[in-house]
A = this chain, B = another copy of it.
Amino acid sequence: MNREIPDDAVQKEALRRFKANVFQVLGHPTRIHIVECLRDGELTVSAILDQVAVEPANASQHLSVLRSKGLVVNRKEGNQVFYSLRDPLLIEVLDTMKLYFKKHLEEAMSMLQGMEG
């Protein structure tokens, strides 16, 4: 198999798919919100719900996505489930992004108008 495409290219493509997957997980406002909430440490689902005002079922679904793609981990303690970020490096990505956003804020805002208009 793979007589024409070199192994290297196949692996690079696989890596790109993986990257795309991670970005896609971050590609939803509610999931971004959840990740931001977890910035300073672990939280229970209830605590997350206090900040991220969505249906519990919906939050669970988003947490499930974050979990399945390895961005967050969870631990159970009695009645509750605590979530936390898998790797603080993710915060760095978000912080670099924050720089990007700050820089492009003005155009970002006018762009937002267009997005939902």
Contacts and interface: CB of A to CB of B under 8 A. Distances in A.
Contacts of A27: 20-21, 23-27
Interface stretch (A40-48, A75-83, A103-111): A103-111
Main secondary structure of the interface of A (DSSP, over half): helix
Interface string A80-117: 00000001011011001101110110011101100110
Contacts of A20: 26-29, 31-32
| Size category of the binding interface on chain A | 35 or more
A17 B70 contact: no
A38 B75 CA distance: 41
B112 A100 contact: no
B92 A17 contact: no
B19 A32 contact: yes
B96 A100 contact: no
